[in-house]
Structures are given as C-alpha cells and as structure tokens.
A = this chain, B = another copy of it.
Amino acid sequence: MTYLPMSVCLFLLLLSMQSYAEIKTITSPSANILVSLSDEAGIPGYSVQYRGEEIVKHSALGLEFKDTDGFVRNMHIVKSEIHSSNITWVQPWGERKQVRDNHKELSVDFVQNQKPFHHMLVHIKVFDDGIGFRYEVVKQPGLNAVEIVDEKTEFIIPDSEKTTAWWIPGRAPLIDEYLYNTTPLATILRAQTPLTMRLPSGVHMAIHEAALVDYAAMTLLQQKPGQLRADLTPWYDGIRVKTQTPFVSPWRTIHIAPNAIGLLNSNLILNLNEPNKLGDVSWVKPGKYVGIWWGMHLGTMTWSTGPHHGTTTEQAKNYMDFAAKYGFAGVLVEGWNQGWDGNWLANGDKFNFTKATPDFDLAEVTRYGKAKGVKLIGHHETAAFVTNYKNQMAEAYDLYQKMGVAQVKTGYVNDHDKVIRIDAAGIERNEWHDGQFMVNEYLYSVTEAAKRQISIDTHEPIKDTGLRRTYPNWISREGARGQEFNATWSLVANPPEHTVMLPFTRMLGGPMDYTPGIFNLAPFGLNAEHRVKNTLAKELALYVVIYSPIQMAADVIENYFEKDGKTLRPGFQFILDVPTDWEQSRALAGEVGDYVAYARKQRNGDDWFLGAITDENPRKLALKLDFLDPRKRYIAEIYRDGATADWKTNPYDMVIEHKAVKAGDMFNVALAASGGVAVRFKVDK
C-alpha cells in the first residue's frame, strides 16, 4: 500500500468530481415513486422509478430558443430545494368535493457552464399517484422576449415492444375525434395526450400535461422505439412558443398506478393547476339539459333556415315545457343565429352571434323559460373563424347575459390546421387548434364569459389540462368522439369499446360532454352501421361513468315517451334521478377498453350511484358495496341488462328492479354484450 500526501488526494478528488454528474432525487410521500434529476454530460435529464422498477429511463429535458442557446447542453446543477405539501382543498363542483394534495417538490436550478450563464429551473412534484414537472425561466439579464423553437423533453419507456399503448394520433385532421388504437407502444409515430400505457409488469402510466396556459400543446413523437419526445404544436410560422421572461411551461405529467383503475382515482391533473381565480363562482351551475341538437345529426332537422329548421321559437318553447316538467335546468338551441345558411364551414366569417334567424325570438324564448325556471343554453359555432368570433364576443356575451343565458356551448368545427385568424396586418393565417395562439383564444373566451357569469362548454376544444380548477366556469368540453358519431358522421359509428376506452384516456384530462341518453338506439334499424352500439342499460350507465357536471338527455324529446306520447319510457326515471355533481367518486373495477365500474355519491345528499359498462364482451362483475355508509340502509334501484339483452340484436331488454342492500354486500351483475348497469342506492328512510 502506498500513502499519498493529502494535497494529492485532494487534487484527485477535485479532478474526479469534475467528471461526476450531479444527481438530485426525490420520492413521493409514501416513497413508492422515485425521481432523479441530473446534469449528466451537461444535459438536463431525469428518470423515474416506481416500486423499484425503472419506468422512465434517463430522458432529456430542455428548452431551445431561436436567437440564443437556450437550455439544452453545457448545463450544470447549482442548487436545489425540496418542499412538502399536504393539504385538502374544495372543488366548487366536481367528481369529488374534497381533494387531497399530498406531494413533495424538488426544484433544481440548471445554469449554463459559460457566458451568459443563463439559468432555468425545473420543478418536479411527486405524488403517490404520479408526477408533474415544469420549466421555469425567470427574468435575467439578456433574456427577455423568447421564441421557443423546440422543447427537448423526452419520456423514454423501457420496453416499448412489450408495452401496450392506447392512443389517438397527434396533429391529425379531426383534432381529438378518433377511435383509440390499442398497439404496442413501439408502433406509434405521433400521439395526442393523454397517452395511456401498460408496462409488461402491469404498471399503468399515462403521459399528459396540466395547466396549459400561454404555451403550445404537447404531442408525443416517437422517432426511435420507446423514445417519446415532446413535439409542441407550432404557430403558422414554425415557432412553437412566443413568450417572454418570466414564464413557466405547463406541467408534464405522468399518472402512475399499479393497475388500470389507479389511473381513474387520481387527482394529479387538478392538483397541478392553480386554485380558483374567479372568486365566488356560485353562479356556475352543474345540471342536466335537453336540446335541439340530435335531430340535426339524424338529418330530420337543419341548422339552416327553411322548412326543417330545428331551432324556432315554437320548438324552443316546446323543449322549455318538457324541461320544466321533468326538472332539466337548461335547453340548448343550435342553429338559432345567422350564418348557417349555405356552406357555413367555408364561410364562417358570416356567423353573427347577436342576430337570430327570423323564426327565432331570443327575448321571447328566454322570457318564457325564465317564467318556468328553465334557462336557455346558448350556442356559438365559429367554424374556427376565430377572429370573426373574437370581434363579436363582448357584444354576444353581453346579449346572453342580458337574456339570462348562463351557459354557452362553443364550437370550432374545421380541420385541425384550419383555424382562421386575421392578423394585425389583415393577413389571413391558418393556425392549429392546439397551438399557443388557440390555447390563448380558448381561455380568452372563458375569462370573457366569466365576467358575465357565463359558463363555457367548448366543443372541438383544446385538450383538457385541468383548468376548470382555476376557471370553474369552463364547465365541460368535448375533445373526443362523442355521441354524434353514432348518427351520420364518419365512416363508422362508435364501437362498443369506445366508451370503455374514454375514462382511461381522454377523461384523465377532465370532464367530457359526451351527451348520452339516446333512447331510440337504432333510428336507421339494428343492421345499420350508424346506431348507438350499446344496450339501453349501458346508455343509462354512461351518466355515471362519463363524468361531466353538465349532462344532456340527448335524444329528441319525443323519444322519451312511449307511442302514446304520454307515458315515459322505462329507464328515463334514472336520467331524472342521477345527479351531475358529486361528493365523492370511486372507480371500483376496470381494464382499459374492456370494462369499468364507478360509484359516485351525490353532493349534498346521501344517495350513491353506480355505473358499470363493458365492451363487446358480456361480463359478470362482483362489486363490493364497501362505499356505502354502514350506518344506513339502502334500496338499490337497478337498471340492468335482461337475459336476452345484446347490443346487436336486442338492446332494449332491460330489467328494472329494487333490492334492499347494505354496506359490505356483494353486488353481482351480468353485463350483456356492450351492456351496462345503472344503479341508484337510495337511502331507505
């Protein structure tokens, strides 16, 4: 053994330190998730372990700017901080009232190795059900206006050949209105988020984002198997994000759970959004509605004026009468305004948002509704001519406020890359629906509406990243293939698995205005492609499964009656009973795209509701009623598939039965092919 002088030792130590990467780690509160951040090779990077399994391999982080070097390489960690938080906050409306936010946060400061020594913060919040990380760039000398040309965030998944992914394509013409693919992860080229995966170990993950504000949406590009890269949707000119310091990116999120339903029982996205910025939002009202809508999709009514015009004063009053009688809060009217005649998709700049068609008297209809306690739900289809909409927005919302309209359904129908914007120089530009420009436009309509105590239900929306927490008047949105695909849109109707796919994918982002409740399931016959491919019991169960604070009874109202035109059809009672606002919610069982069962407790009430649905495969479920209050007794009002029920041949075979149940009982139910069950557990007083 040779002894070295101390000074030599110190020198060697310092030398070796130079080549070592700095690594910072943090775990979730229960330590099931471990995240490491490092500056290895000068590149900001991270990796994630779940219960000892590496689920995200060492992956790059970084932002590249147009005119300066950005934060891509030659970076090192200079300091870091850790914070913890364990609080409970309250949702004004939602799938649960109390939301627990228990996480640890690691903030790491990456600094350039060379002049101008700019720095970037990476914040990682680690919950027991997933993680979120974001970039923060503070004000610093020489870094003011910034154009982001690339975000370098990677998500490298270890075994992409053996990982199953459920996904829709990113940046494709129909925005988010696709059927979900089930493939090995390795086969994806570009996916929208949420992108849901099952690793070979059975661990389930979903990549998404939270708090998408003043930034471009993220799609995921896979150039090499398993190497998912953030690909931000650009402006028309190719720049991804135009901003200035200080700024933050949205949170890049990963839901992590041991099984499929673990994804559903997560509050990750909401917890990563800012608290309510609107103050008192008691004017935001969840509720059920009917509307003049399905007839247009079936082709029996038109949006345009003429003999089959759907929305007339008379028809609207007719729907008001129905709504008042059965306790629906609102009536949606589409095609009420000027601009629908002719090729509205090509001439969206002709839409007028304050002028009604000659056969529709807005003042009279709203007055009529007010007398009966029913609100008109407004409608603004823009055809994605957003400058035309913005120019009229204040006046249009003022008008609605004056008329007592408290909720507006907006529409942005057009190709994904065909948002039409007129720039300051008067030049027409095409933008993507999910680029930074439109991210801001969508939110602008929400904040403008909030000033008038109006809630917004966006169709053809930007994807949901949980902004309802910050802006509770953003009450719902579409953002997936909804019911209308069962009418005449697209080549194929929604297959049985579609609604079993939605909770595990699209709805990880938030509520969806799917518009269930079609009772005439096969208006063109059972053998037609276009029909609702569910049993009637499944159609009822959707009210519990597909969460939205506003739920439509979507059929034309005549279809809720027997042939006599007076007797309500079996099952309609469930639509009348089911709430749309919940004290709490629990996914009980499920596998992605196969089946799912939810229990939800009504807000400010004692009753529980259960919805379970299956794909094309019949299935028996045994669900433990451990969510019920052991101090209470319940009558279960059950709407289940009959013995011969089958979505293809006999979708109407439904049994309605009442049973006494109590906490801890097993609830056994047989779901038909594409069947379901809807239950109200009514407290037996």
Give me the interface of A with B, judged by CB distance under 8 Å: 64, 66, 68-69, 72-73, 147, 149-150, 172-173, 189, 223-224, 234-240, 415-417, 425, 427-428
Contacts and interface: CB of A to CB of B under 8 A. Distances in A.
Nearest to A169: B189
A68 B423 CA distance: 10
Nearest to A239: B238
A520 B237 CA distance: 53
A417 B223 contact: yes
28 contacts: A64-B236, A66-B237, A68-B425, A68-B427, A69-B425, A69-B427, A69-B428, A72-B428, A73-B428, A147-B237, A149-B236, A149-B237, A149-B238, A150-B236, A172-B223, A173-B223, A173-B224, A189-B189, A223-B415, A223-B416, A223-B417, A234-B238, A235-B238, A237-B238, A237-B239, A238-B238, A238-B239, A238-B240
Question: Which of A234, A416, A417, A427 has the most B CB atoms < 10 Å from its CB?
Answer: A427
Contacts of A416: 223
Contacts of A173: 223-224
Contacts of A235: 238
Contacts of A69: 425, 427-428
A73 B428 CA distance: 9
A419 to B, nearest CB: 14
A645 B525 CA distance: 59
A72 B415 CA distance: 18
**Residue among A149, A234, A240 having the largest count of chain B Cβ atoms under 10 Å:** A149
Contacts of A415: 223
Given A149-B238, A189-B189, 20 more contacts: A66-B237, A68-B425, A68-B427, A69-B425, A69-B427, A69-B428, A72-B428, A73-B428, A147-B237, A149-B236, A149-B237, A150-B236, A172-B223, A173-B224, A223-B415, A223-B417, A234-B238, A237-B239, A238-B238, A238-B240
Contacts of A72: 428
Contacts of A68: 425, 427
Contacts of A417: 223
Nearest to A70: B427
Nearest to A41: B346
Contacts of A427: 68-69
A189 B66 CA distance: 28
A427 B415 CA distance: 37
A238 B69 CA distance: 16
Q: Which of A150, A236, A237 has the most CB of B within 10 A?
A: A237
Contacts of A64: 236
A225 to B, nearest CB: 10
Nearest to A426: B69
Contacts of A149: 236-238
Contacts of A236: 64, 149-150
A434 to B, nearest CB: 15
A119 B428 CA distance: 17
> Which has the most chain B C-beta neighbours within 10 Å: A66, A173, A238, A427?
A238
A150 B416 CA distance: 16
Contacts of A237: 66, 147, 149, 238-239
A64 B416 CA distance: 18
A471 to B, nearest CB: 30
Contacts of A150: 236
A239 B72 CA distance: 20
A237 to B, nearest CB: 5
Nearest to A68: B427
A223 B238 CA distance: 18
A416 B223 CA distance: 10
- CB-based closest 3 A-B pairs: A238-B238, A149-B237, A69-B427
A238 B238 CA distance: 4
A239 B66 CA distance: 11
A42 to B, nearest CB: 11
A184 to B, nearest CB: 14
A73 B346 CA distance: 14
A369 B223 CA distance: 44
A276 to B, nearest CB: 36
A670 B505 CA distance: 56
A190 to B, nearest CB: 9
Contacts of A428: 69, 72-73
A73 to B, nearest CB: 7
Contacts of A240: 238
A348 to B, nearest CB: 15
A74 to B, nearest CB: 9
Nearest to A429: B64
A567 to B, nearest CB: 47
Contacts of A239: 237-238
A69 B236 CA distance: 12
A428 B149 CA distance: 13
Nearest to A114: B426
A66 B66 CA distance: 15
Nearest to A149: B237
Nearest to A418: B223
A492 to B, nearest CB: 15
Contacts of A172: 223
A141 to B, nearest CB: 17
A69 B73 CA distance: 37
Nearest to A427: B69
A428 B72 CA distance: 9
A215 B48 CA distance: 42
A189 B425 CA distance: 34
A169 to B, nearest CB: 8
A601 to B, nearest CB: 45
A37 B23 CA distance: 62
A147 B238 CA distance: 11
- Residue from the set A72, A223, A417 with the largest chain B CB neighbour count within 10 Å: A223
A238 B416 CA distance: 18
A237 B425 CA distance: 23
A223 B169 CA distance: 12
A346 to B, nearest CB: 9
Nearest to A147: B237
Nearest to A190: B189
